[in-house]
Every structure is written in structure tokens, then in C-alpha cells.
Chains A and B, each alone.
Chain A
Amino acid sequence: MSGTLSSLSPGLADPSHDAQQLFREVLDAFSHPGRIVTLADAPQGPGMISPAATAYLLTLADRDTPLWLAPSFNTPEVRDYLRFHTGTPIIEDRAAATFAVLSHDDADPFEGFASGTDTYPDRSATLLIEVPALGTGPVRTGRGPGIKGETQLAIAGLDDWFWRQCATNHALFPCGVDLIFTTGSQLLALPRSISVEVSPCTSR
């Protein structure tokens, strides 16, 4: 069902300026971990991919940034769209990925992705994790660079196991993957530098 080029959804309407604006919104999210940032003019993505994740990839992915897609996103429609608009190679080997798109309920989301080396911690993957909602769900406390004191964050669709993996990732600092949670046209960044309390603050 791979479509022709003319059937592809459009990318960024004004590539240079849209990418600049989207980058600043992403930078705002990275600089203020836990902040829910709404991306203005995020394009409707292909298949199951959210506008926010689509916008992120259109802004930052290119032929130098191999992309790994979880099975639910790895469809001909998505592959054609991203290859056409970004030139990004879509790969099967997690270890070689610069970016990855995963679903909140994928098993072992961190497993196998590059977390950098002691001398080059920047050589690590950035994981885009699609979630059902931001701002709802169990409230957790995040601390670290970019956060004044502490911040409360709520991300729907992630279980305790996920947050334990997240704590393990943070413990690798300065190595580790960087996380971006996406839903609709919103995103929230959790760089590896951020610690998130493992036990939820609210009772169920």
C-alpha cells in the first residue's frame, strides 16, 4: 500500500522558518524538563505518528540520523513520508539509531539503544515515546538541570516498570538516552540529567 509521492501528506509548509520555530519550542522543552510544550503548526503526521513526533523529526532528522521505528509505526506510509521529507535512513538495528519512535506500551523501550560513552556521552539516542496524554496520570516529581527546585509531571500510559528503567537510565549520567514524550501536538522532554521519583505520589 505504499503510495505515490503525490499521495504523501505535506511536510513543513515553510521548511526553514517552521523548522526554526519548532526547534525553539523543542529547545524550550529540553531546557525546562517536565514542561508541556505545544508545537504550533505541527503537521498532521502519517499513520499512527503524532503531529508532535512528526514535527520533531521534520525539524531534526536527516540523512545523518538513522531512525528506528517501533512495529506499530513501521508502516510503508510512515516510511515513505519520513524518507521523502527528511531523507532519514530507517533502520532495524536499535544500536545505530540517532532517533527512535516508540509506543508507551512497548516492552523494553530503552533496551539496545546507544547511551553514549564516557568520553562521548553525546553519542546517544533520543527516544520519542508516544503516550495517550500529557498532564494526566500518576504525578511524579522530577529534579535536575532546567528545573527550579522540583517539578510535578504526569504522563499517562507508563507503568512503574518504565519509571524504574528511567531511573536506571538517569543513573548512567553523563551517559544515557534522552526522552521525549509526545501526544497530539504536545511534547515533554526528559533529558537523561533528570531524576524522576520512582514511586507515584498519588494513591490509586
Chain B
Amino acid sequence: MPDTSITEGAYNYAYLDEQTKRMIRRAILKAVAVPGYQVPFGGREMPLPYGWGTGGIQVTAAIIGRDDTLKVIDQGADDTTNAVSIRRFFAHVADVATTTRTEEATIIQTRHRVPETPLKGGQILVFQVPIPEPLRMLEPRETETRTLHALSEYGVMQVSLYESIARHGRISKSYNYPVQVNGRYIMSPSPIPKFDNPKLDRSPALQLYGAGREKRIYAVPPYTPVKSLDFDDHPFEIERWNECCAFCGSTESFLDEMIVDDAGKRLFVCSDTDYCEGRR
């Protein structure tokens, strides 16, 4: 379990001091004004347990209020250690209601999934982002990636994807599959499966992305086109399974594979636990 000492003693509402919240709020508004662009923000390191995703926590802390209902998912599940801890943390420091139901939530903080239940207008999806720069694996220098974004010079990404096709016959990237936002910035959708990429496109919900270590915030406003990069002869495709969920029978959702006995028997179940429970 994460260190609980940070939830004890004196603290500000939603943990962050007011000046830090204002700074993050200003960065969020700039991020909304320039969709897909990574807005740097300052501020101190946030002492939080490893795995919580400080960027997502900071964004949620800057926006959350007593009228909100918070849902937290980790890999699609509401009941993992991190999801439970983060939910308790905000219930404690921000005095908010929490839920596991996607449709009841006003804010959904997520790591590695987008809920299967379609999001509604007025909902805010907060992504925890480990590495915000989609070009980082191709270009380690920040000054260079910044220039590439400034010039919309994304040939390096196209070449990388095409090399993957040349080598594997298809684009092998299945997580963190790069997208282009409103025809301008190439953006990392965070390590969600590419299965979730179509849900980002023209969603009525507001998407906010927080990267804590690199101190970047970026956003996709509602109804904004989000296109997964592809080629005319190799169009973007999402994963499909021959199996259906062993619990709810869904053939539509993202499935996790589970080994259920020593003989190596395998089952497929929905990664989104709320969606799965709602269907049983």
C-alpha cells in the first residue's frame, strides 16, 4: 500500500496550494486553446507514491471540487491498488463522492484505458502520462522535438511507422499509438491500447493529459478530430478477438487474457471492470 502519511495532517483543499492550482489551471486553458500541444508548467515536485502518476493527480487536484464525482481506473479496473488509493486520496483531501460507474462520474482519472461506456458532454477524462513527447523515441533532444512540432515536420514519425510495416507487414505499435489532433499536432495518447484510439476522436468529453515528471499538460477539447496515423495502403486498424468475454460475453470490448490454472488454461475477460459488471 502507498504511504498514507500524505493524507494525514494539515493540507490544502485538494492537496495543492492555491498558487500551484492557479498555475496548472492557466496551463490547462492554454492546452485547450492549442489542442495537442504540450504546455510546460512549473511548480514543485509532488511527493506521491510511485505509480500514482503525479501528472494526472496534479491535473485532477487542480480541477476537482466538492460537487464532483470521481472515478479512477488503472488498466480498466477500479479495484487495483493504485486506483483504490487514488480514489481514497481524493475522497479524503477533496471531500468528493467517488464511483466506479462511468456514467455517474464527472471526472475520470485513468491510466492505460479509456472506458468502454461512451463518455458524455460535461465529463472530463484525465490521463496519467509517463512520456508526453510522441517523438521522444525518435529524437531524444527536447529542442529538436519542439522545433519539429513547430514546423509540423513529422516525417520522422511517418518513416518510423513505415519501417515497422516494412519489417512486420503492419504497424506493430499496439499501445501509445500516435495520433494527430485536429490536423495539427502529433500527440501521444498515453499508453492506452490502440483499441481505445477511436474513442478519442470527436468525443463529447474533455480530455486532459498530465505528465508529472516532464511537467507537461495537453488537451483535446470536445468534438475535436483525433486521427490515428496511418497510410493509404495500410489503414489504421484496432485489435479484434476471436473470443468473447468469459464473464459477460461481450465481443465489443478490450479483452485481457488470464491464465486460470496450472495447465495453462486461458480465459478472456473485459479489461473494463465497470462495463463488464454492468452487462452481467
Contacts and interface: CB of A to CB of B under 8 A. Distances in A.
Interface of A: 15-17, 19-21, 23-24, 26-28, 30-32, 59-60, 62, 64-65, 98, 117-122, 124, 126, 144-149, 173-174, 178, 191-193
Contact of A62 (B22, B62, B150, B224): B22
Interface string B1-39: 000000000001110001101110111111111110101
Interface in B33-49: 33-35, 37, 39-40
Contact of B223 (A59, A119, A148, A178): A148
A175 B224 CA distance: 18
A126 B29 contact: yes
Contact of A118 (B22, B151, B204): B151
Name the interface size band of chain B.
35 or more
Nearest to A98: B26
Most chain B beta-carbon contacts within 10 A, residue among A64, A65, A174: A174
Nearest to A124: B30
B222 to A, nearest CB: 6
B223 A122 contact: no
A17 B224 CA distance: 30
B27 A122 contact: yes
Contact of B28 (A19, A27, A64): A27
Contacts of B21: 19-20
Nearest to A180: B29
Most chain A beta-carbon contacts within 10 A, residue among B23, B32, B122, B206: B32
B18 A174 contact: no
A178 B34 CA distance: 10
A17 B34 contact: no
A26 B29 contact: yes
B242 interface: no
B209 to A, nearest CB: 14
B29 to A, nearest CB: 5
Interface in B158-215: 182, 184-185, 202, 204, 206
Interface stretch (B63-71, B73-81, B251-259, B262-270): B63-71
Given A122-B37, A193-B182, A31 B150 contact: no
B18 A193 contact: no
B66 A17 contact: yes
Contacts of B146: 119-120
A31 B27 contact: no
Nearest to B145: A119
B6 to A, nearest CB: 19
B222 A191 contact: no
Contact of A174 (B27, B34, B65, B66): B34
